[in-house]
Amino acid sequence: MAARTARPSLYISVDIEADGPIPGPYSMISFGAAVAGRQTDASYTAADPQARTFYRELRPISDQYVPEALAVSGLDRDRLLREGTDPAEAMAAFRSWVREVAEEAGAQPVMCGYPASFDWTFLYWYLMRFGGDSPFGHSGCLDMKTLYAAKARVPLRAAVKGRMPAALRSTRRHTHHALDDAVEQAELMSNLMLWEGPEGGKDLRSSPN
């Protein structure tokens, strides 16, 4: 029997801002997404991270919040309570956007984050809580910290941006605005995918868009 051919992956960088450490008791107050690139079995094609993006600011879902966490984003919680997008509406729009860009690319969508653990926890919880469906499935996420640690052959705790080669890091500022940071991390994702590692080993190749 012939081996099944793996479908290409479309990597979508996602960054979220929250007013506390876990979803449910606390709220995701904004999130941004940017298409990073497309991978087939043998190649990775970087995308313009500003070309296909998504951003929403959300109405909080509880009265609880951690002031220090809220301050990171700089968002006004009272304004979000009045003007933030309803979470169910936001997640429905996001599902449609993910499926649209994935269909255009002929690929399966994969969320990527730096680190993915925090952002994926909130994103997946919101997708399932508000609509019961995730376009990424239950495990379609990739952690850039782990990707760097594996390629650089360093312990995971040493996989921090400040220790990465300068050429890997995006030149964009990390602003804690969810869309800005999603775009920045999309650039990092493509740089990591195309990096040959510290010893210049065999790597994926890219055909720029």
- Output the pLDDT for position 204: 42
Tell me whether residue 176 is one of the annotated catalytic residues: yes
Which residue, chain included where needed, has tokens 């050429």? Answer: 167
pLDDT range class, residue 200, cuts 50, 70, 90: low
Q: Tens of pLDDT along 91-121? A: 999 999 999 999 999 999 999 999 999 999 9
Spot the catalytic one: 138, 174, 176, 177. Answer: 176
- The DSSP bridge pattern shows strands 28-39 and 53-57 to be antiparallel
What letter does residue 167 receive in the DSSP assignment? G
Q: Say how far apart CA 17 and CA 57 lie, in whole Å.
A: 9
CA neighbor of 189 nearest in space, from 73, 31, 34: 34
Q: pTM of this prediction?
A: 0.91
> Do residues 34 and 52 lie in contact, with contact meaning Cβ atoms separated by under 8 Å?
yes
What does the DSSP assignment read for 111-133? EEETTHHHHHHHHHHHHHHTTS-
pLDDT number for residue 205: 42
Q: What band does 207 get if pLDDT is binned at 50, 70 and 90?
A: very low
CA distance 48 to 22: 32
Model pLDDT for residues 31-87, shown as the tens digit of each residue = 999 999 999 987 999 999 999 999 999 999 999 999 999 999 999 999 999 999 999
Q: What pLDDT sits at residue 4?
A: 60
| Residue entry with tokens 């450490």 | 21
Q: Is the pLDDT of residue 6 over 90?
A: no
For the segment 144-174, what is each residue's pLDDT rounded down to a tens digit? 999 999 999 999 999 998 899 999 998 888 8
Q: Which comes out higher in pLDDT, residue 6 or 149?
A: 149
Residues sharing a CB contact under 8 Å with residue 119, sequence separation 6 or more, in sequence order: 14, 15, 16, 31, 111, 113
Assign 12 a pLDDT band (cuts: 50, 70, 90): very high
